[in-house]
Structures are given as C-alpha cells and as structure tokens.
Amino acid sequence: MIRFRNIALFTFLATEALFAVHLGGSWNWERGGSIKSFVGLRNLNQRHIFEKNQIFFNEERFRVQGALTHPNFRLEFADEAFLFIERDNPTSIPLPDFLPNSAWKAKWNLLDKKGIDLIGRLDRFFAQFIWGDFQFILGKQVIATGVGQIFTAVSQVQRYMFDFIDQEFPKTEDAVTIVWNGPIQVEARFLPKTSEQREQNFHIRLKGNKSNFDLALTSGKSDDKFFMGLETAKNIGDGLIRSELVGYEAVGKKYLQGLLGFDYVFSPKWNGKIELFHNGFGQTGDYVFEAFRHRSAPFRGQWYGALLLSWEFHPLLKSHWLSIVNLQDPSTLTHLYFNYSLSNNLDILLGQFLNFGNSKSEFGGRLLVSPPNLELGAPNITYAALRWYY
C-alpha cells in the first residue's frame, strides 16, 4: 500500500500553487525538473549469495525543483522520486547497507512490493541570505569542499559509489554555512551528527590567492575524526594542476589522505582529467565486504589512479570514458557511455560498466562475506537511458 509520507512532495505542490504567478518587484520564481528512464542488465559477480547471476532492471527517476529568488535571498528545493522495477532475486543472507545516513531523515519508502519499490527523497531544501560580504545558508545543501574531481580527500558528504549510473546532481548534507567574502574568503560550516556518529561535525576553510596559486587551509571534524588540510590549484596554459593533502586523527591514530590532479583541454572537442589518490583509511589487500572506515571515502585500497576523457564526435554526440585503477591489486573499473542529443532538452544514453582484476582484487574480484564461502564483487552493468528536462 502506498504511504503518502513524502512531506517534500506536498511542499512542492503547495509552493506551485502559491508562487506560480508573477511576483513583481525583484522577486523571481524558477521551476523545472527532469524525468529519466533507465533500462539495463546487471551481471552480478557473486558466489552463493543471489539466486541469479543476471538481472534486468528498469528505473524511473522524477525530479522537481524550484527556487524563490531575490538579490539578497534564495529559497531552493528539489524533490526526487525513484521507481525501481527489478525481477526478484532472493539472497541466501541479508546484505547490510553501508551507505551513511544524513542528520535528519529525508528519504521515504512510498511503495515496497516484490520487485517494485517507490522511494521519495528530499534532495535539497535551503534558504540563503546575503548581507554585505556575508552569506548565510541554512538547510540541506551542496557542500563544496576540496579540489578532487574524481576522488575526494576531505568531505563532509557521502559520495556516490563507483557503479552508480547517474551522478549528475551532487549529493547534499544538512548544514549551517556562513561565508565571508573578504580579502580572504572564510567558510564555516556546522553539520549535525548522524545516528552513526558520536560528535558533531564542523568545517572551516580559508581561501585566497598567492602568486597565481589558489590556496585553501582547512580544518574541522568529519565522521568523528579531527582533520587539517591544504589545497592548491594553478592554471598552466590550457591545463589546471590541483593538489590536496589532509591529515586525520581519531582514537589516537593518524591517517593521511592526498590527491594530485591535472586537467587539460586538448581542443574544443576533447578534454581530459587524471588523478592520483592516496587513501589513508585503506588496506593493502585481503579485503572483506564490510563498512568503510571513513564515510566520505568508499575505497578498500590505498593507492588509486584515474583517467577521465570526454570527446565530442559531433555537436549532438559526445562520449565519456572513466577508468579507476586500484594500483596495488591491480584492478580496474571502467565506465564508457555515449550521449546523443535528440533535442535541446532530450538526450539518449548508452553505457557500460566493466571490472577487471584477479579473484581477490577490489574491482575485478570478489570480497569475502560472512559467513564463510560467500563472496561478492562489483557488477558489470549494461544500460540505456532517456533523459528529458523541463
């Protein structure tokens, strides 16, 4: 039975009724959204867990968003609904969900039947005030931290898993943010603790420019770990070099995260990014299927490299290639997809996730699952999608 508990959806309908008129003065009302339809085949890499190794799936994603704006004020929201249709594939044991929670519940199961799930989620809801050189942002918002484009050395926000198909909209977190746009930009954030954490989170960032280098000093507490970090970025011709180094301390132990990235525009139709990443929370091998040691770092190993290439064959046809390599296994996850524009607001996508590696590697292999003789690895996914924006 459908349970209408998605308060955000009702908020949207009420807002539409109230503001879908000319507001006058300096006030503006923006609205839009998207409908996305995915079909595909998931090839599972598992042993003695799922009944079937291949599963066809269909997913429908509906997004509505809007913003009430004024030169010194912005109220923005976005609500999403996901309809999952997948053939039932029983498991021999219940598998845990290692994805971290937000501070307040923003996700509701509207329909839960065999093979069909309808989920509603409040993606963002925040108010932004501007007073001179100060900005105040309150609510569920995007937390822009770090210089990583593929990896994340420091972040208060959970990130997408590698094989999540649609990563168009950045993930959000509940927070209070104060920004001072002075000679040195100062950002201060408070993020309430989640049910999985013992202490509150906070984040302070000082940003400036010196000798054409963008610099940032960071400090705070994330996932019950105190951290300090340094970020740098500099343009070099048609390229951009980025680096980040972050130290953590928790329960008397110290961890180091770091990344080095380089972006380059080869031509108006071809560009690329490369990143090298060190995950101080990782292991050198002997991985098991368990919770990640840091909520913003869903990596099992310690050393990674990544390459992202985008190539425009034609104004209507673009391709994207992403390879992430665990340098110690070694193993590789690849994602190739093509995007064809049927019109200004209608696209069709064809994509493929593939994993390569030996039997004990992070991507190509299988991780041990308790009890013994059970194993689970990253799936290979073939998919097609239709995206319409309104």
Q: What are the structural domain ranges in the chain?
A: 33-92+104-389
Q: In which band, very low, low, confident or very high, does the pLDDT at 287 lie, cut at 50, 70 and 90?
A: confident
CA angle 168/215/259 to nearest 5° reads 55
Q: In which band, very low, low, confident or very high, does the pLDDT at 157 lie, cut at 50, 70 and 90?
A: low
* Beta strand segments in 48-171, E: 54-70, 73-86, 107-113, 116-131, 134-142
* Beta strand segments in 223-330, E: 225-236, 239-250, 253-267, 270-278, 303-314, 317-326
For all residues of the chain together, what is the average pLDDT? 87
Counting residues of the chain whose pLDDT is more than 90, the rounded percentage is: 63
The CA distances from residue 253 to 227, 234, 280, in Å, are 12, 33, 11
In 3D space, the residue among 201, 220, 178 whose CA is nearest the CA of residue 100 turns out to be 201
Is 211's pLDDT higher than 90? Answer: no
Length of the chain: 390
Is 234's pLDDT higher than 60? Answer: yes
Is 119's pLDDT higher than 80? Answer: yes
Burial (CB count within 10 angstroms: exposed 0-12, middle 13-18, buried 19+), residue 307: middle
Q: Can you give the pLDDT at residue 16? A: 37
Task: Provide the phi-psi class of 224: left if phi over 0, else alpha when psi is between -120 and 50, else beta.
Answer: left
Minimum mean pLDDT range among 84-88, 141-145, 189-193, 386-390: 141-145
Greater confidence (114 vs 133) lies with 133
How many of the other CB atoms lie within 10 Å of CB of 333? 22
Q: Give the largest Cα separation in the chain, rounded.
A: 68
| Helical H segments across the chain, by residue range | 7-19
3-state secondary structure (DSSP) of residue 316? coil
Q: Can you give the pLDDT at residue 167? A: 85
Is 250's pLDDT higher than 80? Answer: yes
Q: In which band, very low, low, confident or very high, does the pLDDT at 5 lie, cut at 50, 70 and 90?
A: very low
d(CA 156, CA 203): 8
Greater confidence (23 vs 359) lies with 359
| Mean pLDDT for the stretch of residues 322-347 | 95
Q: In which band, very low, low, confident or very high, does the pLDDT at 293 lie, cut at 50, 70 and 90?
A: confident
Could you name the CATH architecture of 33-92+104-389? Beta Barrel (2.40)
| Mean pLDDT for the stretch of residues 227-253 | 93
d(CA 338, CA 107): 31
Is 54's pLDDT higher than 60? Answer: yes
Q: Can you give the pLDDT at residue 285? A: 79
Please, are residues 389 and 34 in contact by the beta-carbon 8 Å criterion? yes
What pTM did the predictor assign?
A: 0.86
Is 188's pLDDT higher than 80? Answer: yes
Greater confidence (40 vs 153) lies with 40
